[in-house]
Amino acid sequence: MNEQRGAARIPLPGRPAKAPPVPSHPLYEPETDEVVWNGRYPVQRVRFRFRKRDGSLSELLTWELLRRGQGTVILPWDPVTDRIALIEQFRLPALAAGEEPRVTELPAGLVDPGEDPLETARRELEEETGLVPSRIEAIGTYMLAQGSCDERVHFHIARVSLEGARDRTGGLAGEGEETVVRVVEAAEAFAMVAANRIRNAPTALALLWFQVNHARLKEEWTP
The annotation places the binding site for Mg(2+) at: 108, 124, 128, 177
Q: Cα–Cα distance between 115 and 191 in angstroms, integer?
A: 35
Q: Which of 34, 175, 185, 188 is catalytic?
A: 175
Cα separation values, 113 from 17, 69, 70, Å = 10, 9, 9
Q: Residues marked as binding?
A: 108, 124, 128, 177
Sequence-separated (6 or more) residues with CB below 8 Å from residue 135: 158, 159, 221
- 185, 80 in Cβ contact below 8 A? no
- Asked about 175 being catalytic, the answer comes back as yes
Sequence-separated (6 or more) residues with CB below 8 Å from residue 206: 73, 75, 106, 139, 155, 157
Closest CA to 63 of 149, 5, 143, 142: 149
> How far is CA 17 from its chain centroid?
20
In sequence order, the β-bridge partners of residue 47 are: 32, 62
Quick one: which H or E segment has residue 93? Answer: helix 92-96
Which of the residues are catalytic?
A: 175
